[in-house]
Amino acid sequence: MDNRSEVREFLVSRRAKITPRQAGLPAYGGHRRVPGLRREEVAMLAGVSAEYYARLERGNLSGVSESVLESLSRALKLDEAERAHLFDLARTANAGPRTRRRPTQQQIRPGIQRLLDSMTEAAAYVRNGRLDIVAANRLGRALYAPVFDDPVRPVNLARFRFLNPRAHDFYPDWDESAHTTVALLRTEAGRDPYDRALTDLVGELATRSEEFRALWAAHNVRLHLTGVKNFHHPVVGDISLPFEAMPLPADPGLTLTAFSAEPGTAAHDALTLLASWASTVEQPEPARQSDQTRIADA
């Protein structure tokens, strides 16, 4: 994932999404040769010269100031995730060359596992930025049973979604789910471009999945902290569950995601049934203790 090409393609893709009307520019007649805004229009909106913006769009963010990045974010109407991604790309450009980090092993802290296990009415797991599930409670493993059934380790949500044929049945809204998955991986690639395991995962998915290749080329990024997920579970059938995703400040790069349901609802009844089923079957852990989360060195 070359930084210059990442910057270039991200800026071009964002510029193509903004129409002159959306940018508050007068609508000129005649045929426009490019979708969205022209380079000189973005430069004018950002308050920089056309030559300077052309340099940025060629992928050169070296030495760019925070004020210019803010102006560029406003000109391109970037949302919170896109703005953070642009700043991540700039940070990498100004950090100088670095070598890819080999993945190292890090165990989930006992306190995090105790917290998960204490959540008996919520399905919960902890994932890293590559979407490896590195810890889960019993109900979380039961909810994601088809994912844990995949023999490939580490348990990875993106690999299951794009490479396991059961994913289309497990996720009724597979297309939306796939978009979110790729956007999360693209966000992580901007945040930590030297994670060799992430690079390897993206390479594997791009090689084996045409759908992944098309979505990855869109350069979309996303924050995914709350919402509702729909599942078609092999035991309890269709179930829609609200979720909250909470980054763990003491464990950079890890996020705890928990699903719960309001008592008296069909979703709550399904979770109760799922918990009963989970107590009768032996469920695999996300990974052996020695194979817990492979997190790159800080």
Domain boundary among 69, 95, 121: 95
Q: Are residues 256 and 114 in the same domain?
A: yes
The CATH number of residue 231's host domain is 3.30.450.180
What is the three-class DSSP state of 103?
Answer: coil
Q: Are residues 240 and 132 in the same domain?
A: yes
pLDDT on residue 79: 97
The mean pLDDT of the chain is: 90
- Name the pLDDT band for 281 (thresholds 50, 70, 90): confident
Domain boundary among 95, 124, 158: 95
Look at the block and give the residue holding tokens 């490019």.
Answer: 34
Domain boundary among 40, 69, 95: 95
Mean pLDDT across 174-186: 97
Spatial distance between the Cα atoms of 90 and 65, rounded to a whole number of angstroms: 9
Q: Are residues 121 and 261 in the same domain?
A: yes
Q: Domain range for residue 7? A: 3-95
The CATH number of residue 62's host domain is 1.10.260.40
Q: What is the pLDDT of residues 189-207, one digit of tens each?
A: 999 999 999 999 999 999 9
Q: Are residues 122 and 49 in the same domain?
A: no
Handedness of CA 241, 260, 254, 88 (dihedral sign): positive
Q: Are residues 35 and 161 in the same domain?
A: no
The contacts of residue 263 (CB under 8 Å, 6+ apart) are: none
- Name the pLDDT band for 286 (thresholds 50, 70, 90): low
Q: Are residues 148 and 271 in the same domain?
A: yes
Q: Are residues 64 and 141 in the same domain?
A: no
Q: Are residues 198 and 109 in the same domain?
A: yes
Total number of domains constituting the chain: 2
Distance from chain centroid for Cα 9: 18
Q: What is the pLDDT of residues 50-101, one digit of tens each?
A: 999 999 999 999 999 999 999 999 999 999 999 999 999 999 999 866 655 5
Q: Are residues 57 and 147 in the same domain?
A: no
Answer whether residue 105 shows pLDDT above 70. Answer: no
Q: Are residues 80 and 197 in the same domain?
A: no
Point out which residues pair with 135 in neighbouring strands: 126
Beta strands in the chain (DSSP E): 104-105, 123-127, 133-136, 226-233, 237-247, 255-259, 294-295
CB–CB of 256/114 below 8 Å?
Answer: no
